[in-house]
Each structure stands twice: as structure tokens, then as C-alpha cells.
Structure 1
Amino acid sequence: MPIVQFARFKTDKTEEMVQIIKRGKKIFEKHGAEFLRLSRFHTGAWAGELLVTTRYANWEVYGKVQEAVAKDPEFAQVQAEGMKIAQLQGRNIAVSIDL
């Protein structure tokens, strides 16, 4: 059952954040995430915020990727740069239900 993680960010420097997230995408996918996607809310309470979505095959892969990313010095740099220009607004994990 796939695991999907969502993280919302608020920033007034969207283009800079897009470049930072592109670097993060390579890192997450290198460590085993199925994908990392970036979206921008255009309506509702979160309008203007960015949504980073990552998907993992299962909990085991999710855990391995999180552990690898936590130890990755390149990711530490990317994360530090992102946190200088954006604020994390929320993070959620969803587990797929087989139908």
C-alpha cells in the first residue's frame, strides 16, 4: 500500500523555492521515493502556498528514505536554504486504501 507525504510551505520567494525543491526532488528520488511533485494552491484557505508531495511504495521504503535523507549532507543544505525563505505550514501522511 503506497504512502504519500504532503508538506505545505508559505513563501514570498516562490521561484527561489522552486529551485530549492528541484534539488530536493533529486535527493528523495535517489534514496527511493517513487516521486516528488510540487504544486501551488490557487484557491481556498491555502491559496498561494506550495505543496510538496512524495510517494513511497510502502512503510518500509518510507522509513528507509526518511533515514537516508536525514543522514544526507546535501539534503541538510537544501533544507537549510528552504527554511530561510519559507515556513512549513503543515505536514500530513496518507496511506492508500486498496479498492
Structure 2
Amino acid sequence: MAIELSTRAIEEPGNLSTQPELLVSAALHLMSHYSTRGDDASTCLKLASVIERHLKALAGHGDLAPVLRATCEQLSEQWAGMVEQAIPARQHVSLLDRVFGTAPPR
């Protein structure tokens, strides 16, 4: 049941905005999965991004208590920072490097 809710929340987060309990449940479920995945960086990055979106949606939800909205906002910012740091930096490659084939592979 929890997996179905989190999967539905990932695919259709806008549809769950009227049910904050489902968003909270999905966010908690996703966080627990994130903590168990240490080997696949790309999966962790995607999962962290989804967690951040869920928390952001909860932070803007009018039916939640102010303290819970503030907590979700703070956590959303923390997850967003983590996602931003985890995104690999792209190297700047000049046009001449690309033309002459001296650019490092991506």
C-alpha cells in the first residue's frame, strides 16, 4: 500500500495535493528508501529530487499546521541543496576543443 501511494505521488503529485496525509506518507516512505540506497548515485539523486518536491508541496499546503509547513519548507531547502551538490559539474569545453576532438568524453 505504501509503495503504491509513493509511486502514485511521484507520477501525479498534483492529484494528491488535497490529501496532505498521503503526501506525508509518501515523503516518509521515499526518505526511508533513500537511506537504504547507498550504491546507485543516479537513483539516489532522482529519489532525493522527488523527496524535495514532496516536501515543497507540503510546505505550501494550506491545510497543514504552521509548524509542520515550516518544517517541510526547511527540509525541502536542505534536500534541494543536497540535490544541487550531487549534480555533477559540467566542464566547460571550448568550440576549438570540440572541433579538433581534444575535448574530454562526457
TM (norm. structure 2) is 0.29
Bigger relative contact order, structure 1 or 2, given CA contacts below 8 A and separation 6+? Answer: 1
